[in-house]
Amino acid sequence: MPRIIVGKPLLPNKGVELWYRRKLFALVDFMKKAALRELEAPYKELIGEAALDASVSSQMRIRLNKLVIELELKFGSMADDLAAAFVSRVEKQSGFGFRASLSFMLGGDEVLRKAGFLKAGSSMTQPMRETLKAAVAENVALIKSIPEQFVSGLQSKIYQSINQGGGVGTIAKFVQERFKVSKNRAFWLAFDQNNKASAAVNARRMDDAGITKWKWVHTAGSFKPRDYHRDVLNGQVFSMGEVPIADPKTRERARPGFLINCRCVAAPVIEV
């Protein structure tokens, strides 16, 4: 029977999540300011008196269109760089974590090098490039979806209010409501994408390093831990290419950290 050595679990880096969250929050703040400037400020002196009538309605359409263009430009110009910077931070921290995990398992860089687990010089493989590219593309799309959802939510609220004879004063309230929704989404986006991108990069890194097995590790960090992950998958060892059933109801297969809000991680396993 080969002896099994388990490395430290490959955890997502909390600092990267906080950094990403901060950047997304700044974009969401920008969005709120732009909306208030475009939609509320022109009517400020009327607040409380004027109804959102037909004349306001056509102006509002023009202003909403202007807002869409402004936000598309802002988010469009930021999304690529922000997503790339985020994924590059994930990759870098994953590298540190991976080395620490193996060092713990095998004892020092020298042993790792001899065992062939640390490649000299550049170790960025083509499959790793593909993994990073996919994570960047996913995040670009998610970042760009923030203003889309914000404006469409705002739009339907405002038009609904116009139809029901609501006052101009409700605009600021709607902006504030939609701002909260967007901020909450940005919070989860940073949390979830950090887990997911880290899990993808770590799986790729283990594969690239020639690790053949990994262990499912449930961590206490999840807001809503899945019983199945905590009680069944936790501690099980799988082959590198194996993707176990992670949801017994839907039979969906996933690696740790891939299902929404899953905080589970993988630990590299070697047999000696």
CB-neighbour burial class of residue 33 (10 A; exposed 0-12, middle 13-18, buried 19+): exposed
Longest distance between any two alpha carbons in the chain, whole Å: 82
Query: Residue 270 burial by CB count (10 A; 0-12/13-18/19+): exposed, middle or buried?
Result: buried
Among 139, 229, 255, 266, binds Zn ion (CB under 5 A): 229
Report yes or no: 40 and 104 within 8 Å, Cβ to Cβ: no
By beta-carbon proximity to Zn ion, the closer residue of 24 and 259 is: 259
In this complex, which beta carbon is closest to Zn ion, that of residue 155 or of residue 219?
219
Query: Cβ of residue 219: shortest distance to Zn ion, in angstroms?
Result: 8
Q: Is 267 in the site for Zn ion (CB under 5 A)?
A: no
Q: Does 264 bind Zn ion (CB under 5 A)?
A: yes
CA distances from 141 to 34, 134, 145 (A): 21, 11, 6
Closest approach of Zn ion to the CB of residue 229, in Å: 3
**Which one of residues 6, 39, 262, 265 is an interface residue with Zn ion (CB under 5 A)?**
262
β-pair partners for 237: 215
Considering only the stretches 65-73, 109-117, 205-213, 224-232, report the one whose residues sit in contact with Zn ion under the rule CB under 5 A: 224-232
Q: Judged by CB under 5 A, which stretch of 35-43, 82-90, 96-104, 264-272 contacts Zn ion? A: 264-272
CA–CA gap between residue 208 and residue 92 (Å, rounded): 15
- Which has the closest alpha carbon to 80: 88, 91, 70? 88
Contacting range for Zn ion; rule: CB under 5 A; set: 13-21, 31-39, 145-153, 221-229: 221-229
* Closer to Zn ion by Cβ: residue 69 or 260: 260
Judged by the rule CB under 5 A, the positions of this chain that interact with Zn ion are 229, 262, 264
